[in-house]
Structure formats: C-alpha cells, structure tokens
C-alpha cells in the first residue's frame, strides 16, 4: 500500500494542493462532504507533505483557507436560496432527516454549532447553509466560529496525515531490519544453548 501511494504521489505532485484544497472547499460549498469527507483528502495531503511531494505549511494554509471559504460560500447559498434549496431536488436527495438534524443542532448551539459541526461530516456539509437560512450574523457570529473551526480542523487533518506518514516510515524501517535482528537473536540463542549443553556434559 505504501509503495502504491508513493508511485501515485510522485506523479500527482503539486496537484495535491488543488485536489485537497478543492475538496476541503467543496465539502460545505456544494455539500460534497455528504459523499466524500474532506478530511480524507487532507490526511492524504499530509502524507504527501511528509514524502516531500508538497510543502507542509503551504498545504496547511491552503487547507485552512479552503475550509473558511467553502463554509462562507455554503452560508451565502443558504442565505440567498433559503427554503428553496431544501425543497429542491438536491435538498430532497440530502433527506429531510439530515436537514432536521442540522437545524436542531444549530438551534441548540447557536454560533458554536459552526465550530462543533466542523468535526462531523454530515453537519460540516449542512451547518453553514442552515446558518445562512436562519440569517445568523455573518461577521459577528458565523465568521469567527468558522475561522476557529477551519484552523483546528484543516491544520489538524494535514498534520495528522503528516504524523501518520512518519509513523509508517518508522514502522517500515523496523520491518526492514526486524528479520535481521530476529535471525541474530536466534543464532545467539543457539550458540548459548550449545555452550550450556557443553558445560553440562563436562561437569
């Protein structure tokens, strides 16, 4: 699996910036998160950064900026289209149960719902639009919580993928040398056993 990712990553290269950033943006802007959670793309991007195919901190900045912008677009879509979006074909595809969950979540937590919703795929896709529908104040409430959630989520996912890749590298190194160490231990045990038996028979 690691070799497969390395082969693909070497070909994709800097396109990781566009792919991961685009999915992080589209998650709430066009509700792509209902199908493909954006954190998967950001985790892979973190892996790519550790492999040296892209830069870590530029990817973190792109992840955070894309998440902020995507939620802001989702908010504006909800504010402008309002109930019509919910009654549309896309809204029916989303399902009334999901809309109800997002609506109830928003009313229970207010502005904090924008932050809390960031960490659940369905709510991450729907909460910004619902915030726009109910006309949550954008500058005073929505944007500060949106920025906070985007920084924690976007940077966290990329760094988690980066750390996971470092762990894979370490595991791979141990797996590479592990058999040699095991062979050495078996040989050492065999030599010690022979010496112990030799002393036992001479005494």
Whole-structure pTM value: 0.74
What is the C-alpha separation between 45 and 133, in angstroms, rounded?
Answer: 33
Average pLDDT over residues 8-30: 80
Return the pLDDT at 8.
59
pLDDT of residue 51: 84
Distances 113 to 23, 43, 88 between C-alpha atoms, Å: 21, 24, 24
Mean pLDDT of the chain: 78
Which of 18-22, 38-42, 171-175 is predicted least confidently? 171-175
Q: What is the pLDDT of residue 1?
A: 46
Give the mean pLDDT of 147-157: 93
Give Cβ neighbours of residue 64 (< 8 Å, ≥ 6 apart).
150, 151, 154, 155
**DSSP string of 72-135, one letter each residue:** HHHHHHHHHHTHHHHHSHHHHHH-HHHHHHHHHHHHHHTTHHHHHGGGSHHHHHHHHHHHHHTT
Q: Which residue has the higher pLDDT, 93 or 60?
A: 60
Give the pLDDT confidence of 37-52 residue by residue, as tens digits.
788 888 888 888 888 8
pLDDT at 59 over 70: yes
**Digit-coded pLDDT (tens) for 62-105:** 999 999 999 999 999 888 887 777 777 767 777 778 778 777 88
């Amino acid at each position: 699996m690691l070799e497969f990712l390395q082969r693909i990553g070497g070909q994709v290269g800097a396109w990781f910036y566009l792919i991961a950033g685009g999915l992080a943006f589209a998650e709430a802007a066009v509700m792509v998160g209902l199908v493909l959670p954006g954190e998967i793309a950001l985790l892979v991007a973190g892996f790519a950064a550790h492999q040296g195919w892209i830069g870590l901190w530029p990817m973190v900045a792109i992840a955070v900026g894309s998440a902020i912008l995507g939620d802001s677009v989702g908010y504006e879509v909800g504010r402008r289209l309002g109930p019509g979006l919910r009654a549309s074909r896309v809204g029916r595809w989303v399902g009334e149960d999901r809309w109800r969950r997002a609506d109830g979540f928003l009313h229970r937590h207010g502005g904090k719902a924008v932050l809390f919703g960031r960490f659940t795929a369905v709510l991450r896709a729907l909460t910004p639009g619902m915030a726009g529908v109910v006309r949550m104040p954008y500058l005073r409430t929505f944007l500060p919580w949106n920025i906070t959630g985007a920084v924690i989520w976007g940077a966290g996912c990329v760094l988690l993928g980066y750390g996971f890749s470092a762990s894979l590298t370490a595991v791979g190194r141990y797996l590479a040398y592990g058999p040699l160490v095991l062979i050495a231990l078996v040989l050492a045990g065999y030599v010690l056993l022979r010496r112990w038996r030799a002393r036992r028979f001479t005494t």
